[in-house]
Amino acid sequence: MRVIGKKTVRVDGRALVKGKPVFADDIEIQNLLHLKILHSPHAHARIRSIDASEALAMEGVVAVLTHEDFAPHYFTTAGQGYPEPSPRDMRVLDSVVRFVGDRVAVVAAESPELAAEALAKIRVDYEPLPAIFDSRESMKSSIVIHPEPGATGIYDAERNIAAHFDVEIGNVDKALEESEHLYEGTYSTPYVQQASIEPHISLSWWDENDRLVIRTSTQVPFHVRRIVAEMLDLPIGKIRVIKPRLGGGFGGKQEILNEELCAAVTLKTGFPARLEYTREEEFYAARTRHPQTVKLRIGLNQDLTINAIDMDILENTGAYGAHALTVMSVTAQKTLSLYRAPNVRVNANAVYTNLPIAGAYRGYGAPQGFFALEVLMDEIAHDLGVDPIDLRHKNYVRVGDEIPIARVLGEGREGFPMKILSSGLEECLEEGKKLIGWEKIRSKPKSGIIRRGVGVAIAAQGSGIPGIDMGSVFLKMNEDASFNMLVGATDLGTGSDTALAQIAAEVLEVPVEKILVYSSDTDLTPFDTGAYASSTTYVSGGAVKKAAEKVKAQLLELGKKLLDVKAATIKEGYVIGDSGEKITYREICTKTFYTDEQTQIMATASHVSYDSPPPFNATFAEVAVDIETGIVTVNRIVSVTDAGQVINPQMAEGQAEGAIPQSLGMALSEYMIFDEKGVPLNRDFFQYHIYTAIDMPEIVTKFISTNEPTGPFGAKAAAEIPVNGPAPAVVNAIYNACGVRMRKLPVTPEELLEELSKQK
């Protein structure tokens, strides 16, 4: 192929490295009002009254909005397909606050400093209510977090269960009883934050045609338009949403988060409005990964093939249920799709607590599930005295296998049949084993203060949400043989604009520079569900390929007509007749515009897939454990991925290299801490420790080439899959190094030392 699989300069690369004004806040607007939110100091309270008179009396303060300014309408902030599977349990502003950081009021003033000063002038009379912070206790508590009758879609409000499902394939109890070997374990993962460099920021204004424009850092511009229209009772045609470049999203911006507040201020005052979260607000008022406790039981036959898997998920969704159902659906569906097991069962509950709202975060539930599964698989291998790689080889799914769990469990809805049509997992394991030096490190005697160990984990993911995710594109040609490509897909820093341009260029046989990409403007670009679920390359790329093929067919027919030949082919920007006569794209377009057909060469296409082929990954970790301090140092991570035909190797490597530190943070350093009143304590990067350049191990990334017949040019997703493996691989490496099995993340030196002390 000409450009697919080749390193290609990003279409937005020059603008980014030159510091061009490409992000949401890189715009100058006159008469701009700056917004600040008054956040609740209580984990649970009823607002008796709000007095904003002192704030409004301040010169330069234009407006203060409270729950009294909004209709009692309930919605979800989750940017998902419609109708949303999440509970509709949130109002723009409410008379009840449900976590420390919940929104109480918004101030609009002529400067950020003045808005912040005005917040202190607002007098709120709170009636404190009892709060609950433990997920398991919440289901048994007399405290009801969402008793309001207007909320809908809550599974069991009286028991604080936002969402629930239970499914079974086969007879799990009978299979476990008949199994030769039975193992079980309980594993937990914490609140962790997406930590995007760019915070959430939104701007709004009236344009010259009295339409509301929202410029925002979002992964889901079309969902923003739809949900804001509903929140503020505006026609969708009255709203335009523009998504500029994103300074990171990782799922945290798959949310309608404050766009409606900006819009409400513009509606009320007529002035443009701007709202930017501080880093502290990002920690307690934005979104986080769902903490989960996952209990697994696995039964094996005498030949060590898996006979049954029984899974129980307890998920903390925080104060509201955004993504509550779908995240734990992914936890179950992706995890239980990895290994052949004729009998599987899952019982799952997403539970309200008076803690910050959990939402989408890269992997979307899969990292929590694979941490549990891959650590338990390691425990089984060691107990049975077999190589952990050999145990995995014996059990993972293969080409031709049906995935029964995918048919009964989608993202909050019934799923679709899935059959594995491509897999490079065997090669991923064998290549990673060689690159890490598996045998040498694993079998080396462990002694001394610093002990080295090696661990492995495998994982799968998906390529979009089958039957739900849809992408679309409009492609038109210009006289110089360039092409304007308008796509609804959202590039959130992944380089998807470039990958989609490569797909179009490959079909049309032109250089990538000839594809001029415009993305994510709800007025100008066609509909797309958004950048999440690893859908862009697979789903939106499918739409691009269709549209480019239509344009290519038009060029061929027009070229034949202009050449006056019956048969011709296309090669590298020429239509070539059977006798060798040829005409350039440039000539075809110019003549078609001005002298002959006088028509626009153009095409539109939409694409939805009922397949979601899983990419596969094998991750190996080499660690050093200091048994005197409990400090774990990750020396090396080897990540080998099957993503089908990789569209852009350089960007795919970047995806893996970006995912690894996020998983290492969850494994060893990242967790949100709350006091006994639910107040978050580590709200900046001094106290909340993400992996930085000085912490990073040596990273080796490699991609195994396979061909996925349902994907554009054989491609599968590459974005989320590398985030699933590092955490369990590190925990398994810790066990290999010092014989301590950790089942709770993050692994802290104190807890590791405590476990080490039990060995003495």
Strand order in the sheet with 470-477: 515-519, 483-487, 470-477, 602-608
604 and 627 in a single domain? The answer is no
Residue range 376-427, pLDDT digits in tens? 999 999 999 999 999 999 999 999 999 999 999 988 777 888 999 999 999 9
pLDDT at 457 over 80: yes
User: In this predicted model, what pLDDT tens digit does every residue of 169-188 receive, in sequence order?
Assistant: 999 999 999 999 999 999 99
Average pLDDT of span 125-136: 98
pLDDT digits (tens, 9 = 90+) for 564-576: 999 999 999 999 9
Q: Nearest 5°: CA angle at 252, between 247 and 257? A: 100
Side chain identity, residue 21: P
pLDDT tier at 759 (50, 70, 90 boundaries)? confident
Is 553 part of a structural domain of the chain?
A: yes
Cross-strand pairs, 242: 215, 521
- The 10s digit of each residue's pLDDT in 508-560 is 999 999 999 999 999 999 999 998 878 999 999 999 999 999 999 999 999 99
Angle value at C-alpha 389, between 384 and 393, nearest 5 degrees? 100
The answer as to whether 286 is a domain residue is no
CATH for 101: 3.90.1170.50
Co-location of 362 and 447 in the same domain: yes
Closest CA to 287 of 252, 261, 328, 323: 252
Residue 646 lies in a domain: yes
Residue-wise pLDDT for 141-156, tens only, equals: 999 999 999 999 999 9
Question: CA 55 → CA 37, 65, 264, 678, distances in Å?
Answer: 13, 11, 18, 28
| 229 & 93 share domain | yes
Q: Per-residue DSSP letters for 622-646?
A: EEEEETTT--EEEEEEEEEEE-BS-
Query: Do 620 and 565 share a domain, yes or no?
Result: no
pLDDT at 51: 98
Where residue 560 sits, what CATH number does that domain have? 3.30.365.10
* C-alpha 671 chain-centroid distance: 19
Q: Which residue has the higher pLDDT, 99 or 407?
A: 99
Is residue 418 included in any domain, yes or no? yes
> What is each CA distance from 641 to 68, 121, 391, in whole angstroms?
52, 55, 19
Please give the DSSP secondary-structure letter assigned to residue 68.
G
Question: Is the domain of 623 the same as that of 720?
Answer: yes
Residue 255 and residue 112 share a domain? yes
Question: In whole angstroms, how large is the CA radius of gyration of the chain?
Answer: 27
524 and 389 part of one domain: no
* 408 located within any domain: yes
Across the range 454-478, mean pLDDT stands at 96
**Residue 197 confidence (pLDDT):** 95
> Which of 608, 628, 661 corresponds to the end of one domain?
608
- Tell me how many domains the chain contains: 3
Q: Is 47 among the domain residues?
A: yes
What pLDDT, on a 0 to 100 scale, did the predictor assign at position 619?
Answer: 98
What tens digit of pLDDT does each residue of 283-341 get? 999 999 999 999 999 999 999 999 999 999 999 999 999 999 999 999 999 999 999 99
Percent share of the chain, pLDDT over 90:
95
Residues 307 and 451 reside in one and the same domain: yes
User: Which residues in 23-41 are b (16+ Cβ under 10 Å) and which e?
Assistant: bbbeeeeeebbbbbbbbbb
Q: Which residues, 6 or more positions from 175, have their beta carbon under 8 angstroms from its beta carbon?
A: 299, 307, 308, 342, 343
Cβ atoms of 513 and 572 closer than 8 Å: no
Cα–chain center distance at 205: 29
Q: Same domain for 499 and 373?
A: no
Residues 207 and 298 placed together within one structural domain of the fold: no
Domain of 69 in residue numbering reads as 33-129+200-276
pLDDT number for residue 7: 87
> What pLDDT was estimated at residue 443?
92
For residue 186, being part of any structural domain is answered with no
pLDDT of residue 411: 80
Last residue of a domain, one of 241, 276, 311: 276
Q: Among candidates 336, 469, 454, which has minimal Cα distance to 401?
A: 336
Q: What DSSP line would sit under 289-358, residue for residue? A: PPPEEEEEEEEE-TTS-EEEEEEEEEEEEETS-TTHHHHHHHHHHHHTTSB--SEEEEEEEEEE-SSPPB
Question: Domain end: 608, 632, 661, which one?
Answer: 608
Buried b (16+ CB within 10 A) or exposed e, 477-495: bbeebbbebbbbbbbbbbb
Question: Residue 636 and residue 164: Cα distance in Å, rounded?
Answer: 39
Most distant CA pair in the chain, distance: 90
Q: Check whether 760 has a pLDDT greater than 80.
A: no
Indicate the pLDDT class of residue 224, thresholds 50, 70 and 90. very high
In this structure, the answer to whether residues 569 and 501 fall within a common structural domain is: yes
Query: Is 27 domain-assigned?
Result: no
Shared-domain flag, residues 460 and 534:
no
Position 493 scores a pLDDT of 85
pLDDT in tens, 246-291: 999 999 999 999 999 999 999 999 999 999 999 999 999 999 999 9
Lowest mean pLDDT among 408-417, 624-633, 642-651, 735-744: 408-417
Mean pLDDT over the full length of the chain = 96
